[in-house]
Chains A and B, each alone.
Chain A
Amino acid sequence: MREIEYWIWISSLEGMGAVKAMGLLKMYKNPRIVYEMSEHELKQTKLLTDKNIQEILDKQKRERVNKIYELMIKHNIKMINVFDDNYPYNLKQIYDPPIALYYKGKFELNDFAIAIVGSRRTTNYGSYSAKKLAYDLSLRGVPIVSGLARGIDSIAHEGCLAAGGKTIAVLGCGLDTIYPPENTKLCEDIIKSDGLVISEYPPGMPPLQHNFPARNRIISGISSGVLVVEAAKRSGSLITACYALEQGREVFAIPGNIDCAYSRGTNQLIKDGAKMVLCAEDVLEEFDYIEASDNSEAQNDLSKRGSKTNFSIFRGLSTEEIRIAKIISNGIHDIDEIIDRSNNPTKEVNNILFMLEMKGVITQLPGKIFNMCL
């Protein structure tokens, strides 16, 4: 057996948690030694229960290593173990670091990264702010970490890719399957753009329910701060925020309407002391982050956009169109409210909104919600 196969074997033992596995490895340094130990020797370590020992000696689990290895080669999945020099320093510091990380793409984790997480069910406001912050942060060269789930997670990845940034997806299943399946294309895009897809689970592991909370500890573990965009009262994103606090990471949250069910979790976080985030700078000022010097082009783009919101975006529009566009840019998105605010007949407002959409100033979202184009 090759060295890597011993690592696959020890990381594929479901019954043994990361803490126990780490304890064994700290003692013996090499999974091969654990592999060759007898039942008596394993008992003497005093770390393991009878069940753990049985699992370690289980023949079936030893035989399937070869299959997992074949899957890794087939899907071009690589592995990095906890003693490797490239293993992310931040992640190693947490209470229960994964003993091995399976990954696809280029393994190049900076010390600094921001995680953007949120609920799977989102409102238009949530998806807009997730996209905006992911875009703005990655323009400044910050890698974005998220979980490739539906909703905010996918939007954060997309926003980062749109800005040409690096993004890291942490999955809760083996990398041979992508869950949820509709994100397969997004996953490919992430790898293509020098991003990274990682998981602590060996290929062949299905997306089990309890994998996801465990996955969340890696999301917060490899990042320096966690930004919660939208979360209901009981939400997986709040688990990530809890892990972040345990691991000593900064927790950020985006405020929402006080009566919006989707923002209850984030508003509660802010009440409990998380930092309220209104723009990308709010996140970065907490760190001694020096912007990457080679992104001057991105910087130019950013300052251009800043001025664009002030006047050039309104160039070539009629006065009525500018009036409506200003109402929307001031934060009124609902069609009824826009009509109320504009004092124009419904029909006229509808036409102006349509013309603005055709001119690429605003976009229309389901539910007749209008947003300024990013």
Chain B
Amino acid sequence: MEFYGFKYNSSINKQHNKVIVIDTLTHLQYWSVFLYIHPLESISDISLVGGGKHIKPGEISLAHYGVLFLDEFPEFSKDAIEVLRQPLEDGEICISRANSSITYPAKTTLICAANPCRCGFYLDPSRKCNCTPKMVQQYFGKLSQPLLDRIDIHAEVHPVKYDELAKNGEEETSAVIRERVNSARNIQLDRYKGLGIYSNSELSPPLIKKYCELDRFTSNLLKRAFEKLGLSARAHSRILKVARTIADMEGSETIKSEHVAEAIQYRSLDRIKI
């Protein structure tokens, strides 16, 4: 698959598994591994989204069409977390300074990991959490609701017991899963041919209406879920896009009620009220 970001002031080319960003204004070049970027918690907001005296693209632009992994997400500075809102929504980041204004592409798969609290044992029944309720609330309160709304999938992961580590079960291997993901990707590439987009996540509201149609039972279910769980309007299009992807993974042409149900299950952080 090849992706291009040529409509921007700066361009990104894929060469030998590296990305070269050539800034057309300053003629500076930057290199980065294309697929995966993993900055530390101490990163500043400027180096995450780009900027500086001589404007440079940030990590989020270097991970364009790749993966940006932020481990221990609430440990990042408040500014660095909140500045992600615009690129996550628009797929690009516009940096304006006195001497120039540049728009960098930033269509990245953002993956964040977080502990439930500072000590890491909140909601763990076997170990006692040392945090006060206020501390737990402060820790997760650092992630604002508008930001969480822009993250498609929230999954809660439980501590793994030793028995499960040692078990030689019939788990799916990553190779099998990769095949499934690739076939879903190919379905999406075929479907969006000529539209200038490559995946479900890039669907604009009119396209969502066209490609994410629900039957009456399913839309009723979604409506009931919204009333019951108090989801935000922003979550609506996210749920539809994720449901579309789940349907693609199964090779289903239409979105069925179970796909929507699964997509809603992935919004667990919307319901945590500590």
**Interface residues in chain A, defined as those with a beta carbon under 8 Å from any beta carbon in chain B:** 120-121, 123-125, 150-151, 232, 257, 259-262, 334-336, 347, 350-351, 353-355, 357-358, 364, 366-368
Task: Type the 1/0 row for B244-274, where 1 means its CB is closer than 8 Å to any CB of A.
Answer: 0000000000000010011011001001101
Q: Is B99 an interface residue (CB 8 A)?
A: no
Chain A residues lying within 8 Å of B116, measured Cβ to Cβ, are: 367
Q: Which of B120-157 contact A (CB under 8 A)?
A: 123, 125-129, 132-133, 156
Given contacts A120-B133, A123-B125, A366-B272, contact A350 B224 (CB under 8 A): no
Q: Which residue of A lies closest to B136 (CB)?
A: A121
Q: Which of B213-233 contact A (CB under 8 A)?
A: 221, 224-225, 228
Chain A residues lying within 8 Å of B126, measured Cβ to Cβ, are: 259-261
Q: Could you tell me the distance between the alpha carbons of A230 and B210 in the complex, rounded to whole angstroms?
A: 53
Q: Could you tell me the distance between the alpha carbons of A214 and B128 in the complex, rounded to whole angstroms?
A: 26
Additional A-B contacts beyond A336-B158, A351-B258, A351-B262 (15; CB < 8 A): A121-B129, A121-B132, A123-B123, A123-B125, A259-B126, A260-B125, A261-B127, A261-B128, A262-B128, A335-B158, A351-B261, A357-B228, A367-B116, A367-B123, A368-B158
Chain A residues lying within 8 Å of B272, measured Cβ to Cβ, are: 366
Given contacts A150-B133, A364-B271, A366-B272, contact A262 B125 (CB under 8 A): yes
Chain A residues lying within 8 Å of B225, measured Cβ to Cβ, are: 354, 358
Q: Could you tell me the distance between the alpha carbons of A230 and B125 in the complex, rounded to whole angstroms?
A: 12
**What are 5 A-B interface contacts by the 8 Å CB criterion?**
A123-B125, A261-B125, A351-B258, A354-B262, A366-B274
Query: Nearest-CB distance from B152 to chain A (Å)?
Result: 17
Q: Could you tell me the distance between the alpha carbons of A220 and B265 in the complex, rounded to whole angstroms?
A: 43
Quick check: A347 and B262 within 8 Å, CB to CB? yes
Q: Which residue of B lies closest to A232 (CB)?
A: B128
**Residue from A151, A336, A347 whose CB has the most chain B CB atoms within 10 Å:** A347
Quick check: B156 and A350 within 8 Å, CB to CB? no
Chain B residues lying within 8 Å of A367, measured Cβ to Cβ, are: 116, 123, 156, 158
Quick check: B125 and A350 within 8 Å, CB to CB? no
Quick check: B125 and A257 within 8 Å, CB to CB? yes
Q: Which residue of B lies closest to A359 (CB)?
A: B224
Task: Type the 1/0 row for B110-123, where 1 means its CB is closer than 8 Å to any CB of A.
Answer: 00000010000001
Given contacts A259-B126, A336-B158, A364-B271, contact A354 B261 (CB under 8 A): yes
Q: Which residue of B lies closest to A260 (CB)?
A: B125
**5 shortest A-B CB distances, which residue pairs?**
A261-B128, A367-B123, A354-B261, A366-B272, A351-B258
Query: Nearest-CB distance from A150 to chain B (Å)?
Result: 5
Q: Could you tell me the distance between the alpha carbons of A353 and B272 in the complex, rounded to whole angstroms?
A: 17
Q: Could you tell me the distance between the alpha carbons of A368 and B262 in the complex, rounded to whole angstroms?
A: 14
Query: Nearest-CB distance from B177 to chain A (Å)?
Result: 14
Q: Which residue of A lies closest to B131 (CB)?
A: A121
Q: Which residue of B lies closest to A336 (CB)?
A: B158
Chain B residues lying within 8 Å of A120, measured Cβ to Cβ, are: 132-133
Q: Could you tell me the distance between the alpha carbons of A355 and B271 in the complex, rounded to whole angstroms?
A: 16
